[in-house]
Amino acid sequence: MRLLLIGAPGAGKGTQAVRIAEHFGIPHISSGDLLRRHIAEETSIGRSVRDTMRRGDLVSDGIVMDVLRKPVEAAARNGGYVLDGFPRTVEQAEVAYLVARDIGASVQVALFLDVPREELIRRLVARGQESGRTDDTEDVIKHRLEVYEEHTMPLLDYYQRRERLVTVNGSRPMDEVTWSVIVQLQKVRREFAG
Ligand code: ADP
């Protein structure tokens, strides 16, 4: 299954992505994690994205595609993937589609984790106190939510029109969310099979 997650910062994409990946036996590929690894390893990509990420702005499409291309292609050949953090704009979705289509790697399901804004802010402020992530401070959190609303939310309409969108209420306890995600995905998978 080739799946991507859409959700605001704090919606629980990372947590659910890991669990979905484990359940279906496919890799979890997180654009944010891959970029943070470049920063930690001080690669040239890492140096070029560090300040952008610290501000909570989007890294350029070229760099993100560059970082993701190999792992996504390899996973697609091998049973599928759970993509987390990409695409983040309609432009990224369009380019990714063109690249992936020819090799049979394009996305089958876009899973939206729906969480109200007040709950997101509550979670993010709490996470910022624990995680030490440099983009989890209150000002940057607000900015990341604005970036999400402006650039990423239009993806919901994009995937809805393409009949790929599955929405799950992400404001319930983590285990309940995982359970309903898996139930929904099993339904979708049966549709692919049938
Ligand atoms: P969150 O969704 O909680 O903000 P992520 O780990 O997904 O966290 O992303 C952290 C940062 O990494 C983003 O604010 C952005 O700077 C960069 N990033 C990750 N994925 C992308 C992407 N697809 N396009 C552009 N920038 C990205």
Domain boundaries, the chain: 2-189
- Global model pTM greater than 0.85: yes
Atom of ligand 1 nearest to the CA of 10: 3
pLDDT tens for 19-69 read: 999 999 999 999 999 999 999 999 999 999 999 999 999 999 999 999 999
Mutate-to-test residue for ligand 1 from 53, 91, 136, highest number of ligand atoms within 8 A of CB: 53
Give the CATH number of domain 2-189; options: 3.30.930.10, 3.30.470.30, 3.40.50.300, 3.40.50.620. 3.40.50.300
Q: Could you tell me which residue, 74 or 137, shows the higher pLDDT?
A: 74
Per-residue pLDDT, averaged over 165-186, amounts to 96
| Ligand 1 touching residue 59 (CB < 6 A) | yes
pLDDT at residue 9 is higher than 70: yes
Residue 194: predicted pLDDT: 65
Per-residue pLDDT, averaged over 108-125, amounts to 93
Per-residue pLDDT, averaged over 81-100, amounts to 96
Query: Hey, whose CA ends up nearest to atom 14 of ligand 1?
Result: 56
Q: Are 96 and 162 in contact (CB under 8 A)?
A: no
Q: Could you tell me which residue, 118 or 153, shows the higher pLDDT?
A: 153
- Give the least confident one: 48-52, 102-106, 107-111, 147-151: 102-106
**Cβ neighbours of residue 56 closer than 8 Å, sequence gap 6 or more:** 135, 140, 141, 143, 144, 147
109-121 b/e (C-beta count within 10 Å ≥ 16 → b): bbbbbebeeeebb
Q: Percent of the chain, pLDDT > 70? A: 99
- Residues acting as catalytic residues: 13, 88, 127, 133, 144
